[in-house]
Amino acid sequence: MGMIGDAKRKYDLKAGERKIDFENKRRKIIRENPDIAAALKELNNLWAKALEKGIPPEQTESAAKKLTAALEGLLAQKGYEKDCLNYRPLCPKCSDSGYSEGKMCSCLAQFVLNECYAASGISQIIKRENFDSFDESVFSASPDDENGNQAELARRARNTCLQFAEEFDRNYSNLLIRGKTGTGKSFLTHCIAKAAIDRGKTVLYVTGYGMIDALTKSAVGEADDSFYENLISCDLLIIDDLGTERQTDFSENMLYKVLNERMNSLKPIVFSTNLTVREINEIYDERVTSRIFSVTKGINMPGRDLRYLLKNTPITE
């Protein structure tokens, strides 16, 4: 099972620890509060007798509601939450089993992908780089080479990315963010990743080089094929630095396979690249370029290298 199997074991371990922690707290409440224990026992006995005698549930509900209200009142008096004696799974869809209706639940799928984030460091990056921390003031208000205000162009890029992050699961499209090195492309991909994850979507963030490297290792038996499965099945795939991968027949075939399978399933992709449109057409064959540019919104990032600019700007009080 590889990565998925390891993640599932970690997931089950965490779910088990959470249940044990709940049971310990529940027993402590009951042990330290005899009146709560008596009220809970009375409620449980009511349902047990109804089941034993074959009494329809609806005939017991009225009495059960009164006993439940009394129990909740006692809990409130002691400063407890009214439902603290009932275990609440983190995921109501699968009750923390990881699977729902015979398929991997989105909670487990995201847990698997979070393992990828932990390995790559992206989980820490998106805490710093997100839509809330986007600062258009770092862009110049002077005209850009494209005859536009750089700050205004950056604002439009940010708004386009935010709209995409909020709607990609309802209005299918892909997104291509291109521009020179250091103009904020990766920052925007981090923003999209954070916003999508916050909406409960499964997101896989890879670089062009990293993706092909992992697929190559899988092909030669140095890794399992769970990475490819995640590339295809995640809600949103983000490929940063497209074009940095080594250009071979294998890399191009694998890139086409990933793009083709995702697009046939209407699963969106965000690309970022330093390449111009002409360079993309020169590097990749028509099969790949037709996929990259099909149903794709384009963003051209304006301005100079922000990393160089910020590094060399004197700090003033």
CATH number at residue 199: 3.40.50.300
pLDDT at 147 over 80: no
Q: Please report, as a single letter, which amino acid is at residue 116.
A: C
CA distances from 315 to 183, 305, 311 (A): 20, 18, 10
| Domain stops at, among 54, 77, 100 | 77
For residue 129, the 8-state DSSP code is S
**Any domain includes 264:** yes
pLDDT at 254 over 90: yes
Start-to-end Cα distance in the chain? 56
pLDDT of residue 307: 44
Q: Alpha-carbon distance 130 to 173, whole Å?
A: 21
pLDDT of residue 291: 92
Of 214 and 226, which is predicted with more confidence?
Answer: 214
212 and 63 in one domain?
no
How high does pLDDT run on average in the chain?
84
Counted domains in the chain: 2
- Name the residue range of residue 24's domain: 2-77
DSSP 229-287: HHHHHSSEEEEETTT-S---HHHHHHHHHHHHHHHHTT--EEEEES--HHHHHHHS-HH
**Any domain includes 316:** no
- pLDDT > 90 in the chain, percent: 42
Of 147 and 32, which is predicted with more confidence?
Answer: 32
266 and 130 in one domain?
yes
**Any domain includes 102:** no
Mode of pairing for the β-strands spanning 174-178 and 296-300:
parallel
141 and 50 in one domain?
no
147 and 51 in one domain?
no
| Domain stops at, among 22, 49, 77 | 77
pLDDT of residue 4: 61
CA distances from 171 to 161, 232, 266, 267 (A): 13, 19, 10, 11
- Computed on alpha carbons and rounded to an integer, the radius of gyration of the chain in Å comes to 26
| pLDDT tens per residue across span 2-19 | 456 677 888 899 999 999
269 and 186 in one domain?
yes
**Any domain includes 162:** yes
Q: Alpha-carbon distance 36 to 42, whole Å?
A: 10
**Any domain includes 84:** no
Q: Alpha-carbon distance 120 to 138, whole Å?
A: 27
Q: For the full predicted model, state whether its pTM sits above 0.85.
A: no
Of 166, 164, 174, whose CA–CA distance to 265 is shortest?
174
Of 115 and 72, which is predicted with more confidence?
Answer: 72
Q: Are 269 and 235 in contact (CB under 8 A)?
A: no
Q: Please report, as a single letter, which amino acid is at residue 245.
A: E
Contacts of residue 232, Cβ cutoff 8 Å, sequence gap at least 6? 258, 261, 262, 265, 267
159 and 61 in one domain?
no
